Chain A
Amino acid sequence: MGVALRWPAVSRVLLVLAGIHVVWGLVRLPRMVVDRQDEIAGYRAAGAGVWQLATAKLQGGKALVWLRDNTAPDAVVLHEGGVRGPIEFAACALAPRLLVATTACAVTEASYAGRTVAKGSYGGRSGTVVLVASETDLRIEVR
């Protein structure tokens, strides 16, 4: 074990290349700090979910903000539509609320799994709040 390099000069080449890699990493360090600072500030300003939607160029941040502001933390929020795209961020943005599909819980139900189904007034209508998802957008409907 421990046979020497085939061409000993390669050892020095490796050392030089590794040195370049390390120096390049060091040079980039300040940028990593600034990038993080910007990201953290942006996230804190926009809030969970909204930030991810904005950076992924997806719509629906306003719906998430409205739901966070107008539903109880232990509520069930009904959703329908796609399960890929912006809806993927809704579970984390709305936690500890649970997202439940309208196929599992009808909009007429008052509660689900011991939790109250979210109701409210939006766009001039009152009733059960449903988060409708498409591949690029989230919107609120009241039924």
Chain B
Amino acid sequence: MTSALENWLGRAAEVALTTFVLVGFAALVVFLGHGEVSTFVLPAAIALAIGLQWWRRAKAPAPTPTPTPMAGDSLWLLAAATLLVGVAVLLTWGALATASRTWDGAAMWDPKSALLAARMTLEQTAFRDAGVYLHSRDYPLLQPVLVAAIERLAGCGRVLFPLVFVVHCTLLFTVLRRVGAGVRAAAIAAVGFALTPMVLSPGGGGVDSGYAEALLSLAVTASVSGLVLKDRLLVVVGIALLTWTKPEGGLYASVVVMLAWLGRERRVVLSATAGWAIAMTLWLVLQRDLQSLGRGSFAWSIPLVVAMVGVAVVVSHRLLASRRAKGITLVAVVVVAAVGVPFLLQHFEVGGGVFAGYLQSPARLLERLTLAPQILGGVANWAWLRGRFGIAFVLVVVVAVCARNGLTREPLRWLACMVVVVALPFLLAPFDDLASHMRATMPRLLCHHLGVAWLVVGLAWVGVPAARAPRAAPAVAAPSP
């Protein structure tokens, strides 16, 4: 009974993630064609996602979660589920009671959701007329599109936020079970994530605040889970969600490709690169369309450059497998990336783009290097003490120092990369007061990686004898079909 329920939960989480991506994909394509998205995009995407899941499972049946649930596990599962449902009810109330009550939600995301709910097209004055006030016109549109799609169909668009929370908790639980965590370990990790004060807080970055942090955090967890499980669907879905949700998501998606590239699974590298190339091309072309108010010509350079990067990733991955070429390949890639990435980011922006403010004076990075210890101290301070993350990131340090295993490698690599990525905006951003900038931004940036932190904790228990861990036993990750 428990195994069947777990399989069902795993499939439901994947269907939800795939639906988000399919809706986003359809909307981006229609927007690029200057058309209007149908109200039925959501049911069509759900049907397609269920079909895809059925095909996936028919091709390779879902493995029975290991270790097999034991007596008493049903009670743990019931307790965790009851708690999560209770929290989800609280968040649903918070999300539906009013529109967004805090800054980014009210200023940036809600107006776009309302415009798209009225007419799901960019061919309207607010998007196409520079004279009309629209905050961050060239920001990624996935969250407003999803809210609008639900609003048009069911009249409760903001139910997306608690739904994202439920999918996130379910994903954490089922991924941990798939790699062999015990029911209790997986449940503790999912509940630990759900009860983190930052997640539950009504303020900015909380699930029901209307910010896009919850969706981006889910995308991060899906991507890293895909890398752990070698599950190509999760990797691709995660990359697409990252790219289309927030500007920094494009950077995260590139890091996912980099981590896949550092791994040995060629099929994962191919899937991640293909997903990244499609998601990036769609978004960068649409972003340019938004910046030019729909009047620019199609920028062929974007798919061309993205395709070139994709080919370089795949070819260099083959070279990386060669012992003789490994060193020189790594050096070449680091040099090309250090020069090429800032160039590409600048090239794809039209004047006031999202990254333009950060990249307009790259020399600032060198000037600010003396602030690096202060900024890294700030990352630690907000992660461990002030960021309302409980002790989630403290547990990550405990695992990294004392309890690493083969499964925690990818998530720990991710978090190590993210220390740099989180610090980077503070080295590049145009601001006068570092302390206030960190106070405003740092908790939200760290919030994106909270799911991965709990994934690390859960994975550390895999392989621990049952007497010492919350019901875990050695297991083998199930590869994706």
A3/B197 contact (C-beta < 8 A), A17-B398, A39-B202, A95-B114 known: no
In the complex, residue of chain B having the shortest beta-carbon distance to the beta carbon of A76: B132
Q: Which of A1-39 contact B (CB under 8 A)?
A: 1-15, 17-22, 24-26, 28-29, 32-33, 35-36, 39
Residues of chain A lying within 8 A (CB to CB) of residue B108:
88
- A-B contact sample (12 more), CB < 8 A, given A29-B195, A33-B90: A5-B460, A5-B463, A14-B398, A14-B457, A15-B188, A25-B196, A35-B201, A43-B101, A88-B108, A89-B106, A98-B126, A100-B131
Q: A101 is contacted by which of B97, B131, B188, B405 (Cβ under 8 Å)? A: B131
- Would you give the shortest CB distance from A91 to chain B, in whole angstroms? 5
CA distance A10 to B394 in the complex (A): 13
Counting chain B CB atoms within 10 Å of each CB, the highest count among A52, A79, A103 belongs to A52
Residues of chain B lying within 8 A (CB to CB) of residue A129:
none
Counting chain B CB atoms within 10 Å of each CB, the highest count among A5, A22, A48, A113 belongs to A5
Residues of B within 8 A of A (CB): 87, 90, 93-94, 97-103, 106-108, 110-111, 114, 118, 125-126, 129-135, 179-180, 188-189, 191-192, 194-197, 200-202, 390-392, 394-395, 398-399, 402-407, 457, 460-465, 468-470, 474-477
Q: A113 is contacted by which of B87, B129, B407, B476 (Cβ under 8 Å)? A: B129
**Is the CB–CB distance between B395 and A14 below 8 Å?**
yes
In the complex, residue of chain B having the shortest beta-carbon distance to the beta carbon of A19: B188
Q: Can you give 15 A-B contacts (C-beta < 8 A)?
A: A1-B463, A2-B463, A2-B474, A7-B403, A10-B402, A14-B460, A15-B469, A18-B395, A21-B192, A32-B90, A43-B98, A52-B102, A52-B107, A92-B106, A100-B129
- Would you give the shortest CB distance from A67 to chain B, in whole angstroms? 13
CA distance A1 to B410 in the complex (A): 12
Residues of chain B lying within 8 A (CB to CB) of residue A49:
106
Counting chain B CB atoms within 10 Å of each CB, the highest count among A1, A19, A56, A112 belongs to A1
- Would you give the shortest CB distance from A83 to chain B, in whole angstroms? 7
**Which 4 pairs, one residue from A and one from B, show the smallest C-beta to C-beta distance?**
A104-B131, A25-B195, A2-B463, A99-B133
**Is the CB–CB distance between A21 and B133 below 8 Å?**
no
**Is the CB–CB distance between B111 and A95 below 8 Å?**
yes
Residues of chain B lying within 8 A (CB to CB) of residue A6:
402-404
Is A110's CB within 8 Å of the partner chain B?
no
CA distance A104 to B398 in the complex (A): 57
Residues of chain A lying within 8 A (CB to CB) of residue B129:
100, 104, 113
**Is the CB–CB distance between B470 and A15 below 8 Å?**
yes
A2/B130 contact (C-beta < 8 A), A21-B195, A32-B202, A91-B107 known: no
Residues of chain B lying within 8 A (CB to CB) of residue A33:
90
**Is the CB–CB distance between A5 and B200 below 8 Å?**
no
CA distance A101 to B391 in the complex (A): 47
Residues of chain B lying within 8 A (CB to CB) of residue A24:
195, 390
- Would you give the shortest CB distance from B173 to chain A, in whole angstroms? 14
**Is the CB–CB distance between A4 and B465 below 8 Å?**
yes
CA distance A105 to B130 in the complex (A): 11
Counting chain A CB atoms within 10 Å of each CB, the highest count among B94, B131, B406 belongs to B131
**Is the CB–CB distance between A40 and B98 below 8 Å?**
yes
**Is the CB–CB distance between B468 and A12 below 8 Å?**
yes
Residues of chain B lying within 8 A (CB to CB) of residue A39:
101, 202
- Would you give the shortest CB distance from A9 to chain B, in whole angstroms? 8
A11/B461 contact (C-beta < 8 A), A87-B133, A92-B106 known: yes
In the complex, residue of chain A having the shortest beta-carbon distance to the beta carbon of B130: A104
The number of residue pairs between A and B whose CB atoms lie closer than 8 Å in the complex comes to 186
**Is the CB–CB distance between B468 and A91 below 8 Å?**
no
Residues of chain B lying within 8 A (CB to CB) of residue A87:
133
CA distance A14 to B102 in the complex (A): 35
Sort chain A's interface into a size bin: 35 or more
CA distance A100 to B469 in the complex (A): 61
CA distance A129 to B134 in the complex (A): 19
Q: Which of A85-132 contact B (CB under 8 A)?
A: 87-92, 95-96, 98-101, 103-105, 112-113
Residues of chain A lying within 8 A (CB to CB) of residue B474:
2
Counting chain B CB atoms within 10 Å of each CB, the highest count among A10, A26, A36, A56 belongs to A36
Residues of chain A lying within 8 A (CB to CB) of residue B135:
88, 91
CA distance A66 to B470 in the complex (A): 60
A11/B460 contact (C-beta < 8 A), A35-B202, A52-B103, A92-B110 known: yes
Residues of chain A lying within 8 A (CB to CB) of residue B188:
15, 18-19, 22
Q: A29 is contacted by which of B126, B200, B463 (Cβ under 8 Å)? A: B200
Is A44's CB within 8 Å of the partner chain B?
yes
In the complex, residue of chain A having the shortest beta-carbon distance to the beta carbon of B185: A15
Residues of chain B lying within 8 A (CB to CB) of residue A12:
468
- Would you give the shortest CB distance from B209 to chain A, in whole angstroms? 10
Residues of chain A lying within 8 A (CB to CB) of residue B202:
32, 35-36, 39
**Is the CB–CB distance between A21 and B395 below 8 Å?**
yes
CA distance A11 to B99 in the complex (A): 43
**Is the CB–CB distance between A52 and B106 below 8 Å?**
yes
A98/B460 contact (C-beta < 8 A), A18-B395, A92-B110 known: no
**Is the CB–CB distance between B132 and A3 below 8 Å?**
no
CA distance A95 to B465 in the complex (A): 59
Q: B133 is contacted by which of A8, A20, A22, A100 (Cβ under 8 Å)? A: A100
Residues of chain B lying within 8 A (CB to CB) of residue A100:
129, 131-133
Residues of chain B lying within 8 A (CB to CB) of residue A55:
101-102
In the complex, residue of chain A having the shortest beta-carbon distance to the beta carbon of B469: A11
Residues of chain A lying within 8 A (CB to CB) of residue B126:
98
- Would you give the shortest CB distance from A54 to chain B, in whole angstroms? 11
- Would you give the shortest CB distance from A101 to chain B, in whole angstroms? 5
**Is the CB–CB distance between B114 and A14 below 8 Å?**
no
Residues of chain A lying within 8 A (CB to CB) of residue B87:
29
- Would you give the shortest CB distance from B158 to chain A, in whole angstroms? 13
